[in-house]
Amino acid sequence: MQTFLTIILIFVLVDILLVGYVVYKRFRRTLNDEVIQKIRSAWKELIREKDHRHAIMEADKLLDFALFKMGYKGSLGSKLKKAHSLFRNINDVWSAHKIRNNIAHKINYKVDEKTYKKTMLQFKQAFIDLKIF
């Protein structure tokens, strides 16, 4: 009788481990190599962009694209709320996104060199956090 219970217990533990592994694999959000290469290539192009405002807009779009490909839905803002734990410093990511919003929504919003460099570094760190760079 004790041997039978031991065997049943082993099967139950194995089942729990298998279910846990399947759930982990299903909900782990990663990017495939093709998407990573596409993002890296687009990043290389946008950092050569002379128009700082346009480069920041494109970096924001790239981050949105990466999170979309990872399975997050909605606006970039809602994606960031859902994916906040992926980032070393979510406040920096929000700061970069807010600069993009200022560019998009404020008339004649100027981006000086210091703001441009800081914003692009924040976006780059976001991509590092997502294991793209």
- Summarize the confidence of residues 79-102 as an average pLDDT: 98
CA pair distance 55, 70, nearest whole angstrom: 23
What's the pLDDT score for residue 65?
A: 98
CA pair distance 33, 38, nearest whole angstrom: 9
User: Could you tell me the CA-to-CA distances from 131 to 32, 58, 97, 102 in Å, in that order?
Assistant: 11, 19, 19, 27
CA pair distance 102, 111, nearest whole angstrom: 10
Stated pTM of the model? 0.79
What's the pLDDT score for residue 123?
A: 98
- Summarize the confidence of residues 71-100 as an average pLDDT: 97
pLDDT digits (tens, 9 = 90+) for 4-34: 778 887 877 777 777 665 444 444 578 999 9
Instruction: Look up residue 81 and give its amino acid.
Output: K
Domain ranges of the chain: 1-30, 33-129
Q: What string of DSSP letters covers 69-124?
A: HTT--SSHHHHHHHHGGGSS-HHHHHHHHHHHHHHHHSTT----HHHHHHHHHHHH
pLDDT digits (tens, 9 = 90+) for 33-77: 999 999 999 999 999 999 999 999 999 999 999 999 999 999 999
Query: Is pLDDT at 124 greater than 80 in this prediction?
Result: yes
